[in-house]
Amino acid sequence: MMQFAESISKDDMNKLPLRAFEGEIYIVESDYDAQKAISILKKTDIIGFDTETRPSFKKGRINKVALLQLSSSSQAFLFRLNGNGLHKVVADLLADEKIVKVGVAIRDDLIALKRIKKFEPQSFLELQTYVKNFDIQNFSLQKLAAIVLGFRISKSKRLSNWEAETLDPGQKRYAATDAWVSLEVYKKLLNNI
Global pTM value: 0.93
Q: What is the side-by-side strand order in the sheet with 24-28?
A: 24-28, 75-80, 65-71, 46-53, 100-103, 124-126
Over residues 74-90, mean pLDDT: 94
pLDDT band, residue 2 (cuts 50/70/90): confident
In this predicted model, what pLDDT tens digit does every residue of 126-177 receive, in sequence order? 999 999 999 999 899 999 999 999 999 987 666 578 988 899 999 999 999 9
Decide: residue 32, CB within 10 A, 0-12 exposed, 13-18 middle, 19+ buried: exposed
**How far apart are the C-alpha atoms of 109 and 112, rounded to whole Å?**
5
List domains and CATH numbers for the chain. Answer: 10-190 (3.30.420.10)
65-71 and 46-53 strand pairing: antiparallel
User: What residues contact residue 191 under an 8 Å CB cut-off, 6+ apart?
Assistant: none
Least confident of 20-34, 63-77, 145-159: 145-159
Mean pLDDT across the chain: 92
Over residues 108-128, mean pLDDT: 95
**Residue 10 carries which side chain, given as an amino acid letter?**
K
